[in-house]
Chain A
Amino acid sequence: MTVPLLRRLHTRGVAAVATAAVSSLLLAGCVGGSATGSGDAGSGSSGAGGAVIHLVGYSVPKEANGAIEKKFQTTPAGQGVTFEEAYGPSGDQSRAVVNGLAADYVSFSLEPDVTRLVKAGLVDTSWNAGATKGMVADSVVVIAVRKGNPKGIKGWDDLIKPGVKIITPNPASSGSARWNTLAAYQHTISDGGSAVQAKDYLTQFFNHVQSLPGSGRDATNAFLDGDADALISYENEAILARQAGEDFDYVVPDETVKIENPAAVTTKATPKAKDYLDFVLSADGQAEFAAKGFRPVVAGTPTGSVEGANDPANPFPTPAKLTTIADLGGWEAVNTTFFEDKTGIVSQVQQATGKSQ
C-alpha cells in the first residue's frame, strides 16, 4: 500500500517535496500559534451571573464533584454559575491543560499533576499556601479482600504468605498507583525495619503480584472479575465500589500511607472558580466528599453515616501509623528514590522479581 505511493514519489518528487515543505512551514506556524495561545487556559468570562467554570479533573471524585456543584449553585456566590467538566486519568488531564485545554478549576489525584501546571505558569505558586496545603480530599491505602476474608488478610505481612495473589495498579503508568507501592514499602519502615528489610519486603510483595492494571479503577475491575486474593486500593475507591453494590471486604492496615488529592484554580480563571474552591473546602463541600468515601481535609467536618464503609457510623478509622508524602521528603524526592527508571527502588525490585518469574 505504502510502497506504490513511494514509487510514485520518485517520479513526481519535486512537486511533492515542495508541497511537503510548504505544509511543514504551515504546520510550524500553527504549532507556534497554539503554543502562545495555551496560556489563556481560563475562560475569562467573569460576569456576575452566567459565569462558566471549566472543571478539569481525574475521574474518581466525579460524583462528589457533581454533588458539590449542585450545592454551590444554591449559594449566593454560585448563583447562575454553570460547569463544563472534562474527566480522565489525572496525569493525562494535567498534560491536556498544559497543552491548552481550557481550565478554571483543576482537581487531580496527586500533587505533581498540579506542580506541572505551576511550572507551565498556569497555576500560581501560592496554590498550596492555604490551611489544607492545596488539598481538598484525603484517603488512605487499603487492602481489599474477598467477602468474608477467606485468607485471613489483616495487614501487609499476610500478603506475602504462600499462595496469596495480589493485584495493584501499575505504579509506572498510573501516578496514583504510587501511593500503594509506597504503602507496601513504608509499612516495614513504620514497624522499625531498615531500608534493606523494606526493599526485601517489596521484592516478596511483587513476587505475589498477579497483575498491574493501568489505573485504580481497572485494578478494581480486574479484582472483581479475577481470582486474586487481595487488591491494593484506596479507601474511597473501595467504599465507592461497595456503594455501587460490589460485594467484597476491605482492611485498613495498621501502617498505611495518607493519600492527598489536590485542587487548584488556574491563573486566568474566572473569579467564580476561587469561590467554588472555597466552597469545596467548606463544611458543606467536605461533607459531600465524605459521603463518597473520601476523608475530609478540614478537621471536625461531620461525616455522618457513610454507606459502603466497614462501619458506616465510624467510616474513617485512624490507622496506628500513617505516613505522609511530606514524611518521605515530598513527591520529587519520592519519585527519584522509588520510581526513577533503572535506579529507583521499585524499578530495581521489579527487575529482580520480573527476571525470576
Chain B
Amino acid sequence: MTTAVTSALAGTAGSEEMPAPGRAPSGRRRRSTLTRASGLGLGVAMLWFSLLVLIPLVAVVVQATRGGWTAYVAALTSPQTVAALQLTVGHAVLVTAIDVVMGTAIAWVLVRDSFVGKRVLEVVIDIPFALPTIVAGLVLLSLYGANSPLGLQWANTSHAVTLAFLFVTLPFVVRTVQPVLMEIEPEVEEAAASLGASRFTVFRMVILPSLVPAITSGAALAFARAISEYGSLVLLSGNLPYSTEVASVRILSFIEGDQLTAAAAVASLLLVVALVVIVGLEIVSRRVARHG
C-alpha cells in the first residue's frame, strides 16, 4: 500500500518534471522548466510578492520623487538627516561585523560542543527576535539606564544605539549558520587533518567556504534589521539630534511635520543602502564560494 502510494507520487512528480512532448512544443524555445501547474504557482508567488513588496516599494520611490529633484536633495542634505543616516548606517555596519564574528562563534558552540545549559541557550538565543522591540528597549533600559545594576549608564548615548542594534540582530547570523554547520560532515575535516592540515587551515579551507553563504545572508538580514530599528530605541536612545537620533526617528519626524516627500526621500535612501549591502554581500558570498 505504502509502496504503491510512493511510486504513484514518484510517477506524478516524474511526469511533472518532463513535459509531455505533445503538450508544450513551444516550451523548448527557452530553458524554462515551467509546466502549467508550476507556472500557476509562479504566477501566484509573483502576484503575492508584488502586492506585498514590489508595489509598496515603488510607491515609496514615487512619493519620494513627487517634490522634484531639488526637494529630494534638500531633504537628504539637511545636516540633521545626514547625521541620523551616518549614525544609523555606521552603527549597522559595525554591529553586522560583530554579529558575523560572534554569531558564527555561537553557532559553532551550539553545534559542535555539548555542555550544561545548551538546550536553554538554544531557546534563549531567539528571544531578542521574538520579543516586541519596545520590551527589548525596556530590558536594555533597566540594565543600562540611570539605575543600572552594572553601573553602565549608557542610555541616551550612542552606546545605546549599538547595544539595541546588537540585541535585536543577534539571532540572525546564528540561525543561518547553525543548520549549515550541522550539515558539514566531520569526515571531511578528519580527512583534511589526516593530510596534515592544521586546525586553522581546516577551518579556513574546508569549513569557512561552506559557511560563507550562510554568514552573508545572516549578515544581510542583521544589517537590514539594524538600519530599520525603531522600537527598542524609543526609550533608550533619547533621540538627541546629531548624537543618538536614528534614521527611522527622522522619518517619523518628517511625517509628523506633514512632510511626506521628505520622509519618503529618507526611506528611499535607506532602501538603496539596504539593496547595495545585500547585493554586495551576495557578490562576496559567490566569490568566496568560487575561489574558496
Chains A and B belong together in one complex: yes
A contact set with B: CB distance below 8 Å: 1-3, 5, 11-12, 15-16, 19-20, 22-24, 27, 91, 95, 116, 170, 172-175, 209-214, 218, 221-222, 225-228, 335, 339, 341-342, 347, 350-351, 354-355, 357
Is B187 an interface residue, CB under 8 A from the partner? Answer: no
- Whether B155 pairs with A211 at a CB distance below 8 angstroms is yes
Q: Which residues of B lie under 8 Å from residue A341 when comparing CB positions?
A: 75, 78, 80-81, 254, 257, 259, 262
Is B156 an interface residue, CB under 8 A from the partner? Answer: yes
B contact set with A: CB distance below 8 Å: 30-32, 34, 39, 42-43, 46-47, 49-51, 54-55, 58, 75, 78-81, 83, 141-142, 145-147, 153, 155-156, 217, 220-221, 234-235, 237-243, 249, 252-259, 262, 278-279, 282
- Whether A357 pairs with B243 at a CB distance below 8 angstroms is yes
Q: How far is the CA of A227 from the CA of B238 in the complex (A)?
A: 13
* 30 A-B contacts (beta carbon < 8 Å): A1-B220, A2-B278, A11-B30, A12-B42, A19-B50, A23-B47, A23-B50, A24-B55, A24-B58, A27-B50, A95-B255, A170-B253, A172-B241, A172-B249, A173-B252, A209-B240, A211-B155, A212-B238, A213-B235, A213-B238, A218-B234, A222-B235, A225-B146, A225-B147, A350-B241, A350-B242, A351-B80, A354-B240, A354-B242, A357-B242
Q: How far is the CA of A342 from the CA of B71 in the complex (A)?
A: 13
Q: How far is the CA of A3 from the CA of B153 in the complex (A)?
A: 41
B42, B54, B147, B238: the one contacting A211 at CB < 8 Å is B238
Q: Is the interface of A mostly helix, strand, loop or mixed?
A: helix
Q: How far is the CA of A210 from the CA of B257 in the complex (A)?
A: 23
- Report the minimal beta-carbon distance from A355 to chain B, rounded to whole angstroms: 6
Q: Which residues of B lie under 8 Å from residue A19 when comparing CB positions?
A: 42-43, 46-47, 50
- Whether B32 pairs with A11 at a CB distance below 8 angstroms is yes
Q: Is the interface of B mostly helix, strand, loop or mixed?
A: helix
- Whether A354 pairs with B243 at a CB distance below 8 angstroms is yes
B51, B58, B238, B242: the one contacting A210 at CB < 8 Å is B238
- A20-B50 contact, Cβ under 8 Å, with A12-B34, A213-B239: yes
Q: Which residues of A lie under 8 Å from residue B42 when comparing CB positions?
A: 12, 15-16, 19
B31, B83, B254, B257: the one contacting A354 at CB < 8 Å is B83
Q: Beyond A24-B50, A170-B249, A210-B156: 18 further Cβ-contacts under 8 Å?
A: A15-B43, A24-B55, A27-B51, A95-B255, A173-B256, A174-B256, A211-B239, A213-B235, A214-B234, A218-B235, A222-B235, A225-B145, A225-B147, A341-B257, A350-B241, A351-B242, A354-B242, A355-B242
Q: Nearest chain-A residue to B213 (Cβ)?
A: A3
- Whether B55 pairs with A23 at a CB distance below 8 angstroms is yes
- Report the minimal beta-carbon distance from A94 to chain B, rounded to whole angstroms: 10
- Report the minimal beta-carbon distance from B275 to chain A, rounded to whole angstroms: 10
CB-CB nearest 4 A-B residue pairs: A354-B242, A211-B238, A227-B146, A172-B253
Q: Which residues of A lie under 8 Å from residue B46 when comparing CB positions?
A: 15-16, 19-20, 23
Q: Which residues of A lie under 8 Å from residue B221 when comparing CB positions?
A: 1
- Whether B234 pairs with A339 at a CB distance below 8 angstroms is no
Q: Which residues of A lie under 8 Å from residue B254 when comparing CB positions?
A: 341
- Whether B239 pairs with A212 at a CB distance below 8 angstroms is yes
Q: How far is the CA of A3 from the CA of B279 in the complex (A)?
A: 8
- Report the minimal beta-carbon distance from A226 to chain B, rounded to whole angstroms: 4
B58, B241, B249: the one contacting A351 at CB < 8 Å is B241
